[in-house]
Protein backbone atom coordinates (compact mmCIF):
# COMPACT_ATOMS: atom_id res chain seq x y z
CA UNK A 1 0.00 0.00 0.00
CA UNK A 2 1.30 3.42 -0.95
CA UNK A 3 1.52 6.52 1.22
CA UNK A 4 0.06 10.01 1.09
CA UNK A 5 2.17 13.15 0.98
CA UNK A 6 1.47 13.79 4.68
CA UNK A 7 2.51 10.28 5.69
CA UNK A 8 5.71 10.50 3.64
CA UNK A 9 6.78 13.84 5.14
CA UNK A 10 6.06 12.73 8.71
CA UNK A 11 7.80 9.38 8.16
CA UNK A 12 10.97 11.07 6.95
CA UNK A 13 10.94 13.49 9.87
CA UNK A 14 10.45 10.72 12.44
CA UNK A 15 13.06 8.33 11.04
CA UNK A 16 10.54 5.71 9.97
CA UNK A 17 10.06 3.91 6.67
CA UNK A 18 6.29 4.19 6.76
CA UNK A 19 3.48 5.31 9.01
CA UNK A 20 -0.17 4.51 9.60
CA UNK A 21 -2.94 6.96 10.52
CA UNK A 22 -3.37 7.19 14.27
CA UNK A 23 0.27 6.39 15.02
CA UNK A 24 1.96 8.66 17.58
CA UNK A 25 5.39 9.90 16.50
CA UNK A 26 8.13 12.27 17.62
CA UNK A 27 9.07 14.27 14.54
CA UNK A 28 11.76 16.82 13.75
CA UNK A 29 10.46 20.34 13.21
CA UNK A 30 12.00 22.41 10.41
CA UNK A 31 10.49 25.78 11.37
CA UNK A 32 8.59 27.08 14.40
CA UNK A 33 7.06 30.50 15.06
CA UNK A 34 4.49 32.50 16.99
CA UNK A 35 2.87 35.92 16.74
CA UNK A 36 2.28 38.81 19.13
CA UNK A 37 -0.69 37.03 20.74
CA UNK A 38 0.72 33.52 21.07
CA UNK A 39 4.50 33.96 21.25
CA UNK A 40 4.64 35.81 24.59
CA UNK A 41 2.93 32.83 26.26
CA UNK A 42 5.31 30.41 24.53
CA UNK A 43 8.33 32.46 25.63
CA UNK A 44 7.13 32.41 29.24
CA UNK A 45 6.71 28.61 29.10
CA UNK A 46 10.10 28.26 27.40
CA UNK A 47 11.71 30.06 30.32
CA UNK A 48 9.64 28.30 33.01
CA UNK A 49 10.89 24.97 31.66
CA UNK A 50 14.45 26.16 32.15
CA UNK A 51 15.44 26.41 28.49
CA UNK A 52 18.14 28.96 27.68
CA UNK A 53 18.49 28.77 23.90
CA UNK A 54 16.29 27.94 20.94
CA UNK A 55 17.31 24.83 19.02
CA UNK A 56 18.26 26.80 15.88
CA UNK A 57 18.33 30.61 15.51
CA UNK A 58 17.49 30.31 11.81
CA UNK A 59 14.52 27.98 12.29
CA UNK A 60 12.65 29.86 15.02
CA UNK A 61 11.03 33.26 14.84
CA UNK A 62 8.36 35.50 16.34
CA UNK A 63 6.23 37.77 14.18
CA UNK A 64 4.41 40.90 15.40
CA UNK A 65 1.42 41.12 13.06
CA UNK A 66 -1.90 40.85 14.92
CA UNK A 67 -2.05 44.09 16.94
CA UNK A 68 0.61 45.97 15.00
CA UNK A 69 1.30 48.77 14.44
CA UNK A 70 0.76 48.65 18.19
CA UNK A 71 -2.89 49.17 19.06
CA UNK A 72 -2.45 50.18 22.69
CA UNK A 73 -0.10 50.00 25.66
CA UNK A 74 -0.77 46.31 26.29
CA UNK A 75 -0.04 45.30 22.70
CA UNK A 76 3.07 47.49 22.74
CA UNK A 77 4.25 45.57 25.79
CA UNK A 78 3.64 42.21 24.12
CA UNK A 79 5.64 43.26 21.08
CA UNK A 80 8.44 44.63 23.25
CA UNK A 81 8.57 41.30 25.10
CA UNK A 82 8.90 39.46 21.78
CA UNK A 83 11.48 41.88 20.43
CA UNK A 84 13.68 41.46 23.48
CA UNK A 85 13.43 37.66 23.16
CA UNK A 86 14.41 37.87 19.49
CA UNK A 87 17.42 40.02 20.41
CA UNK A 88 18.39 37.79 23.32
CA UNK A 89 18.21 34.65 21.18
CA UNK A 90 19.79 36.36 18.15
CA UNK A 91 16.98 35.12 15.90
CA UNK A 92 18.09 35.47 12.31
CA UNK A 93 14.64 36.08 10.79
CA UNK A 94 12.95 38.73 12.89
CA UNK A 95 10.82 41.35 11.09
CA UNK A 96 9.01 44.40 12.47
CA UNK A 97 6.78 47.22 11.25
CA UNK A 98 8.11 48.54 7.96
CA UNK A 99 9.63 45.18 7.05
CA UNK A 100 7.11 42.75 8.44
CA UNK A 101 3.96 41.27 7.00
CA UNK A 102 1.10 39.00 7.96
CA UNK A 103 2.91 35.84 9.04
CA UNK A 104 1.35 33.42 6.57
CA UNK A 105 2.07 35.72 3.63
CA UNK A 106 5.51 36.79 4.87
CA UNK A 107 7.10 33.39 5.55
CA UNK A 108 6.57 31.93 2.04
CA UNK A 109 7.63 35.24 0.49
CA UNK A 110 10.89 35.09 2.44
CA UNK A 111 11.52 31.47 1.47
CA UNK A 112 11.50 30.39 5.12
CA UNK A 113 8.89 27.66 4.56
CA UNK A 114 9.43 25.24 1.70
CA UNK A 115 8.17 21.94 0.24
CA UNK A 116 8.70 18.84 2.33
CA UNK A 117 9.14 20.68 5.62
CA UNK A 118 7.38 20.12 8.93
CA UNK A 119 6.27 23.56 10.08
CA UNK A 120 4.49 24.43 13.32
CA UNK A 121 3.15 27.82 14.30
CA UNK A 122 1.15 29.02 17.26
CA UNK A 123 -1.59 30.17 14.91
CA UNK A 124 -4.32 27.98 13.48
CA UNK A 125 -3.78 29.17 9.90
CA UNK A 126 -0.28 27.73 9.77
CA UNK A 127 -1.86 25.13 7.46
CA UNK A 128 -1.37 27.77 4.71
CA UNK A 129 2.04 26.31 3.83
CA UNK A 130 0.43 23.07 2.71
CA UNK A 131 0.10 24.94 -0.59
CA UNK A 132 3.86 24.43 -0.95
CA UNK A 133 3.64 20.72 -0.20
CA UNK A 134 4.76 21.12 3.42
CA UNK A 135 3.18 19.46 6.44
CA UNK A 136 2.24 22.64 8.29
CA UNK A 137 -0.10 22.86 11.23
CA UNK A 138 -1.11 25.12 14.09
CA UNK A 139 -0.16 24.29 17.67
CA UNK A 140 -0.72 25.75 21.11
CA UNK A 141 1.75 28.08 22.78
CA UNK A 142 3.04 25.35 25.11
CA UNK A 143 3.78 23.06 22.17
CA UNK A 144 5.50 25.98 20.46
CA UNK A 145 7.73 26.43 23.52
CA UNK A 146 8.79 22.77 23.25
CA UNK A 147 9.39 23.04 19.52
CA UNK A 148 11.47 26.20 19.93
CA UNK A 149 13.66 24.50 22.51
CA UNK A 150 13.94 20.96 21.18
CA UNK A 151 13.27 21.13 17.44
CA UNK A 152 10.93 18.17 17.90
CA UNK A 153 7.26 17.65 18.65
CA UNK A 154 4.79 14.82 19.15
CA UNK A 155 2.20 14.26 16.42
CA UNK A 156 -0.60 11.84 15.75
CA UNK A 157 -0.47 10.84 12.10
CA UNK A 158 -3.72 12.08 10.52
CA UNK A 159 -5.94 10.23 8.10
CA UNK A 160 -5.98 11.83 4.65
CA UNK A 161 -8.89 12.99 2.52
CA UNK A 162 -8.67 13.66 -1.22
CA UNK A 163 -10.57 16.58 -2.79
CA UNK A 164 -10.44 16.45 -6.61
CA UNK A 165 -11.52 19.39 -8.76
CA UNK A 166 -12.06 19.33 -12.52
CA UNK A 167 -13.36 21.98 -14.90
CA UNK A 168 -12.54 25.52 -15.97
CA UNK A 169 -13.28 28.20 -13.38
CA UNK A 170 -15.88 30.85 -14.05
CA UNK A 171 -14.75 34.46 -14.20
CA UNK A 172 -14.18 36.02 -10.75
CA UNK A 173 -13.85 32.57 -9.13
CA UNK A 174 -10.63 31.73 -7.28
CA UNK A 175 -9.18 29.32 -4.75
CA UNK A 176 -11.13 31.14 -2.03
CA UNK A 177 -14.38 30.07 -3.66
CA UNK A 178 -13.24 26.46 -4.03
CA UNK A 179 -12.43 26.18 -0.33
CA UNK A 180 -15.60 27.99 0.78
CA UNK A 181 -17.61 25.65 -1.43
CA UNK A 182 -15.80 22.64 0.01
CA UNK A 183 -16.43 23.74 3.59
CA UNK A 184 -20.06 24.33 2.68
CA UNK A 185 -20.27 20.75 1.43
CA UNK A 186 -18.52 18.94 4.30
CA UNK A 187 -19.08 21.34 7.22
CA UNK A 188 -16.73 22.88 9.76
CA UNK A 189 -16.01 19.46 11.29
CA UNK A 190 -15.84 17.55 8.03
CA UNK A 191 -12.06 17.20 8.14
CA UNK A 192 -11.51 17.09 11.89
CA UNK A 193 -7.85 16.13 12.51
CA UNK A 194 -7.48 14.98 8.90
CA UNK A 195 -5.01 16.01 6.23
CA UNK A 196 -6.95 17.57 3.35
CA UNK A 197 -5.27 16.97 -0.01
CA UNK A 198 -6.43 19.17 -2.90
CA UNK A 199 -5.81 17.78 -6.37
CA UNK A 200 -7.05 17.58 -9.94
CA UNK A 201 -6.69 19.60 -13.18
CA UNK A 202 -8.37 22.69 -11.69
CA UNK A 203 -5.88 22.84 -8.82
CA UNK A 204 -2.98 22.46 -11.26
CA UNK A 205 -4.24 25.54 -13.11
CA UNK A 206 -4.51 27.67 -9.94
CA UNK A 207 -1.91 30.31 -9.20
CA UNK A 208 0.17 29.97 -6.05
CA UNK A 209 -1.80 32.85 -4.49
CA UNK A 210 -5.06 30.93 -4.98
CA UNK A 211 -3.48 27.74 -3.63
CA UNK A 212 -2.39 29.55 -0.47
CA UNK A 213 -5.99 30.71 0.03
CA UNK A 214 -7.26 27.14 -0.19
CA UNK A 215 -4.72 25.63 2.20
CA UNK A 216 -5.16 28.57 4.59
CA UNK A 217 -8.78 27.65 5.28
CA UNK A 218 -8.30 23.91 5.76
CA UNK A 219 -8.57 24.57 9.50
CA UNK A 220 -12.07 26.00 8.97
CA UNK A 221 -13.15 22.44 8.10
CA UNK A 222 -11.26 21.15 11.15
CA UNK A 223 -8.30 20.01 9.04
CA UNK A 224 -4.92 19.26 10.59
CA UNK A 225 -3.27 20.27 7.31
CA UNK A 226 -4.27 21.24 3.78
CA UNK A 227 -1.81 20.05 1.16
CA UNK A 228 -1.29 20.52 -2.56
CA UNK A 229 1.27 18.42 -4.40
CA UNK A 230 4.22 20.57 -5.54
CA UNK A 231 4.61 21.14 -9.27
CA UNK A 232 6.55 23.47 -11.58
CA UNK A 233 4.63 26.51 -10.26
CA UNK A 234 5.57 25.59 -6.70
CA UNK A 235 9.23 25.14 -7.61
CA UNK A 236 9.33 28.46 -9.47
CA UNK A 237 7.75 30.27 -6.50
CA UNK A 238 10.21 28.82 -4.01
CA UNK A 239 13.28 29.31 -6.18
CA UNK A 240 12.55 33.00 -6.70
CA UNK A 241 12.27 33.38 -2.91
CA UNK A 242 15.35 31.41 -1.80
CA UNK A 243 18.28 29.33 -2.99
CA UNK A 244 17.90 26.92 -0.05
CA UNK A 245 17.30 23.28 -0.88
CA UNK A 246 13.96 21.57 -0.50
CA UNK A 247 12.51 18.10 -1.05
CA UNK A 248 9.32 17.31 -2.91
CA UNK A 249 7.00 14.56 -1.71
CA UNK A 250 4.08 13.23 -3.73
CA UNK A 251 1.27 10.84 -2.82
CA UNK A 252 1.49 7.39 -4.34
CA UNK A 253 -1.18 6.34 -6.84
CA UNK A 254 -2.24 3.56 -4.46
CA UNK A 255 -2.21 5.73 -1.33
CA UNK A 256 -5.14 5.12 1.00
CA UNK A 257 -7.61 7.91 1.77
CA UNK A 258 -10.34 7.72 4.36
CA UNK A 259 -12.63 9.73 2.04
CA UNK A 260 -12.57 11.11 -1.50
CA UNK A 261 -14.63 13.95 -2.97
CA UNK A 262 -15.01 14.96 -6.62
CA UNK A 263 -16.23 18.40 -7.67
CA UNK A 264 -17.03 20.02 -11.01
CA UNK A 265 -15.34 23.38 -10.52
CA UNK A 266 -16.96 24.85 -13.65
CA UNK A 267 -20.29 24.92 -11.80
CA UNK A 268 -18.96 26.79 -8.76
CA UNK A 269 -19.97 30.47 -8.61
CA UNK A 270 -18.32 33.06 -6.39
CA UNK A 271 -19.28 31.97 -2.88
CA UNK A 272 -20.48 33.95 0.13
CA UNK A 273 -20.33 32.49 3.63
CA UNK A 274 -23.13 33.78 5.86
CA UNK A 275 -22.87 34.36 9.63
CA UNK A 276 -21.84 32.74 11.85
CA UNK A 277 -19.92 29.79 10.41
CA UNK A 278 -17.75 29.36 7.30
CA UNK A 279 -19.92 26.38 6.31
CA UNK A 280 -22.96 28.64 5.75
CA UNK A 281 -22.09 29.19 2.10
CA UNK A 282 -24.27 30.25 -0.80
CA UNK A 283 -23.55 31.13 -4.42
CA UNK A 284 -23.49 34.91 -4.72
CA UNK A 285 -26.50 34.70 -7.05
CA UNK A 286 -28.58 33.39 -4.11
CA UNK A 287 -27.51 35.96 -1.52
CA UNK A 288 -30.46 38.32 -1.87
CA UNK A 289 -30.37 41.86 -0.48
CA UNK A 290 -27.68 42.24 2.18
CA UNK A 291 -26.52 45.84 2.74
CA UNK A 292 -23.05 46.31 4.22
CA UNK A 293 -21.32 48.85 6.43
CA UNK A 294 -17.76 47.65 5.81
CA UNK A 295 -15.68 45.75 3.27
CA UNK A 296 -12.30 44.30 4.26
CA UNK A 297 -9.90 43.08 1.58
CA UNK A 298 -6.69 41.44 2.80
CA UNK A 299 -5.58 39.07 5.59
CA UNK A 300 -3.51 35.88 5.47
CA UNK A 301 -6.22 34.42 3.23
CA UNK A 302 -6.47 37.09 0.53
CA UNK A 303 -3.82 39.76 1.05
CA UNK A 304 -1.55 38.66 -1.80
CA UNK A 305 -0.77 40.48 -5.02
CA UNK A 306 -3.26 38.55 -7.15
CA UNK A 307 -6.01 39.38 -4.67
CA UNK A 308 -5.30 43.11 -4.69
CA UNK A 309 -4.99 43.24 -8.49
CA UNK A 310 -8.40 41.59 -8.75
CA UNK A 311 -9.94 44.07 -6.32
CA UNK A 312 -8.32 47.02 -8.13
CA UNK A 313 -9.67 45.84 -11.49
CA UNK A 314 -13.19 45.98 -10.02
CA UNK A 315 -12.77 49.32 -8.23
CA UNK A 316 -10.86 51.29 -10.88
CA UNK A 317 -12.70 54.49 -11.76
CA UNK A 318 -15.50 53.83 -9.29
CA UNK A 319 -16.41 55.07 -5.83
CA UNK A 320 -17.02 53.19 -2.61
CA UNK A 321 -20.70 53.57 -1.75
CA UNK A 322 -21.70 56.28 0.69
CA UNK A 323 -21.83 54.89 4.21
CA UNK A 324 -19.44 52.00 3.48
CA UNK A 325 -15.93 51.76 4.91
CA UNK A 326 -13.57 49.88 2.62
CA UNK A 327 -10.31 48.75 4.26
CA UNK A 328 -7.55 47.20 2.16
CA UNK A 329 -4.62 45.40 3.78
CA UNK A 330 -1.65 44.17 1.71
CA UNK A 331 -0.13 41.01 3.15
CA UNK A 332 3.47 42.23 3.36
CA UNK A 333 5.60 45.32 2.93
CA UNK A 334 6.78 43.96 -0.43
CA UNK A 335 3.18 43.71 -1.67
CA UNK A 336 2.49 47.18 -0.24
CA UNK A 337 5.39 48.59 -2.27
CA UNK A 338 4.28 46.81 -5.43
CA UNK A 339 0.81 48.28 -5.06
CA UNK A 340 2.35 51.72 -4.62
CA UNK A 341 4.66 51.38 -7.60
CA UNK A 342 2.05 49.89 -9.94
CA UNK A 343 -0.65 52.45 -9.23
CA UNK A 344 -2.95 49.94 -7.53
CA UNK A 345 -2.78 51.80 -4.22
CA UNK A 346 -3.84 55.00 -5.99
CA UNK A 347 -6.87 53.20 -7.47
CA UNK A 348 -7.97 52.19 -3.99
CA UNK A 349 -7.44 55.62 -2.45
CA UNK A 350 -9.18 57.43 -5.33
CA UNK A 351 -12.12 55.06 -4.93
CA UNK A 352 -12.45 56.16 -1.31
CA UNK A 353 -10.90 53.14 0.37
CA UNK A 354 -8.29 53.01 3.13
CA UNK A 355 -5.01 51.44 2.02
CA UNK A 356 -3.23 50.26 5.16
CA UNK A 357 0.08 48.88 6.30
CA UNK A 358 0.13 45.06 6.66
CA UNK A 359 -1.76 43.88 9.75
CA UNK A 360 -4.13 41.15 10.91
CA UNK A 361 -6.07 43.77 12.89
CA UNK A 362 -9.64 43.68 11.51
CA UNK A 363 -9.72 39.91 10.97
CA UNK A 364 -9.87 39.12 14.68
CA UNK A 365 -11.68 42.29 15.77
CA UNK A 366 -8.42 43.70 17.09
CA UNK A 367 -8.10 47.12 15.46
CA UNK A 368 -8.16 48.94 12.10
CA UNK A 369 -11.79 47.98 11.41
CA UNK A 370 -13.71 46.74 14.46
CA UNK A 371 -17.46 46.34 13.94
CA UNK A 372 -20.11 47.99 16.12
CA UNK A 373 -23.37 46.42 17.20
CA UNK A 374 -25.71 45.84 14.27
CA UNK A 375 -23.08 46.39 11.57
CA UNK A 376 -22.52 44.04 8.64
CA UNK A 377 -19.22 43.44 6.87
CA UNK A 378 -18.15 41.56 3.78
CA UNK A 379 -14.61 40.31 4.28
CA UNK A 380 -11.95 38.27 2.51
CA UNK A 381 -10.78 36.94 5.88
CA UNK A 382 -11.29 33.36 7.01
CA UNK A 383 -13.71 33.36 9.95
CA UNK A 384 -17.14 34.77 10.62
CA UNK A 385 -17.84 33.45 14.11
CA UNK A 386 -20.02 35.43 16.53
CA UNK A 387 -18.06 38.55 17.51
CA UNK A 388 -15.10 37.63 15.32
CA UNK A 389 -14.62 41.16 13.97
CA UNK A 390 -16.12 43.15 16.83
CA UNK A 391 -19.51 43.25 18.52
CA UNK A 392 -21.22 39.90 19.13
CA UNK A 393 -24.22 41.58 17.52
CA UNK A 394 -22.40 42.34 14.27
CA UNK A 395 -22.36 40.10 11.19
CA UNK A 396 -19.50 38.97 8.96
CA UNK A 397 -19.91 37.57 5.45
CA UNK A 398 -16.90 35.89 3.83
CA UNK A 399 -16.05 36.14 0.13
CA UNK A 400 -13.28 36.45 -2.41
CA UNK A 401 -11.66 39.85 -3.21
CA UNK A 402 -13.74 40.44 -6.35
CA UNK A 403 -17.03 40.09 -4.46
CA UNK A 404 -15.76 42.21 -1.56
CA UNK A 405 -14.61 44.97 -3.93
CA UNK A 406 -17.85 44.94 -5.94
CA UNK A 407 -19.90 44.97 -2.75
CA UNK A 408 -17.98 48.01 -1.46
CA UNK A 409 -18.96 49.85 -4.64
CA UNK A 410 -22.59 48.70 -4.59
CA UNK A 411 -23.13 49.12 -0.85
CA UNK A 412 -24.56 45.60 -0.70
CA UNK A 413 -23.32 42.09 -1.45
CA UNK A 414 -23.30 41.62 -5.23
CA UNK A 415 -21.73 39.56 -7.99
CA UNK A 416 -18.72 41.42 -9.46
CA UNK A 417 -20.43 41.51 -12.85
CA UNK A 418 -23.05 43.86 -11.42
CA UNK A 419 -20.50 46.67 -11.12
CA UNK A 420 -18.08 45.78 -13.94
CA UNK A 421 -18.65 47.97 -16.98
What is the rounded CA–CA span in Å between residue 301 and residue 76?
25
What is the rounded CA–CA span in Å between residue 15 and residue 192?
26
Produce one character per residue of 313-324: b if its CB has 16 or more CB atoms within 10 Å, e if not.
Answer: bbbbebebbeeb
Is residue 249, in this structure, part of any structural domain at all? no
Residue-number span of the structural domain to which 208 is assigned? 5-244+258-263
Domain co-membership, 316 together with 182: no
CB-based contacts of 352, cutoff 8 Å, min separation 6: 319, 320, 326
In the chain, the number of structural domains is 2
Domain co-membership, 204 together with 277: no
Q: Locate all alpha helices (DSSP H) within 288-410, ordered by sequence.
A: 299-302, 305-315, 333-342, 344-350, 401-410
Tell me what pLDDT residue 94 has.
95
Strands (E), 96-151: 118-121, 135-138
Is residue 176 within a helix (H) or strand (E), and if so which, with residue range?
Answer: helix 175-186
Domain co-membership, 99 together with 147: yes
Output the CA–CA distances (angstroms, integers) from residue 139 to 83, 145, 194, 225, in the order listed: 21, 10, 15, 12
Is residue 250, in this structure, part of any structural domain at all? no
Tell me what pLDDT residue 1 has.
74
What is the rounded CA–CA span in Å between residue 108 and residue 371?
30
Distance of CA 237 to the CA centre of its chain: 17
User: Each residue of 101-142: pLDDT tens digit?
Assistant: 999 999 999 999 999 999 999 999 999 999 999 999 999 999
Point out which residues pair with 271 in neighbouring strands. Answer: 283
Tell me what pLDDT residue 421 has.
67
Domain co-membership, 233 together with 381: no
Domain co-membership, 337 together with 378: yes
Can you state the angle between helices 175-186 and 208-216, rounded to 10 degrees? Answer: 30
Is residue 252, in this structure, part of any structural domain at all? no
Nearest residue to 7 (alpha-carbon basis) of 157, 119, 162: 157
Using 70 as the pLDDT threshold, list the residues of the chain that sit under it.
421
Domain co-membership, 218 together with 286: no
Domain co-membership, 233 together with 366: no
Percent of the chain with pLDDT over 90: 95
Nearest residue to 65 (alpha-carbon basis) of 33, 42, 92, 90: 33
What is the rounded CA–CA span in Å between residue 83 and residue 322?
41
Task: Please compute, for residue 28, the number of CA atoms within 13 A of its CA located in the half-sphere on the CB side.
Answer: 13
Q: For residues 202, 214, 105 and 73, what is the CA-based torsion angle, rounded to 10 degrees?
A: 160
Produce one character per residue of 221-239: b if its CB has 16 or more CB atoms within 10 Å, e if not.
Answer: bbbbbbbbbbeeebeebbe
What is the rounded CA–CA span in Å between residue 419 and residue 397?
19
- Greatest CA separation found in the chain? 63
Domain co-membership, 38 together with 119: yes
Is residue 124, in this structure, part of any structural domain at all? yes
CB-based contacts of 165, cutoff 8 Å, min separation 6: 178, 198, 199, 200, 201, 202, 203, 263, 265
What is the rounded CA–CA span in Å between residue 112 and residue 108?
6
Task: State the pairing for strand pair 271-273/281-283.
Answer: antiparallel
Nearest residue to 339 (alpha-carbon basis) of 327, 357, 352: 357
Instruction: Find the CATH number of the domain harbouring 101.
Output: 3.30.499.10
Residue 28 burial class via C-beta count within 10 angstroms: exposed 0-12, middle 13-18, buried 19 and up: middle
Is residue 309, in this structure, part of any structural domain at all? yes
Tell me what pLDDT residue 73 has.
95
Is residue 209 within a helix (H) or strand (E), and if so which, with residue range?
Answer: helix 208-216
Domain co-membership, 215 together with 327: no
Domain co-membership, 312 together with 215: no
Domain co-membership, 300 together with 240: no
Domain co-membership, 179 together with 284: no
Amino acid sequence: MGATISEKILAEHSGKDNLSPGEIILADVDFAFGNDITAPIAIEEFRKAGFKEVFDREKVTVIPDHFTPNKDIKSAGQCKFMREFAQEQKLENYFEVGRVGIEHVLLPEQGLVRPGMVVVGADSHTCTYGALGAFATGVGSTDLAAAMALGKLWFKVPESQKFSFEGKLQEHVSGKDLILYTIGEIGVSGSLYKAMEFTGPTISELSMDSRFSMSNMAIEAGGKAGLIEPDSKTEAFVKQATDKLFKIFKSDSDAEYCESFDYDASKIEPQVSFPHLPENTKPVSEVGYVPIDQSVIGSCTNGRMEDLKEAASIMKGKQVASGVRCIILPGTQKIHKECMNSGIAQIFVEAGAVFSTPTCGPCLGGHMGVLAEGEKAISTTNRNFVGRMGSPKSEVYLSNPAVAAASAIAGKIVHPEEVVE
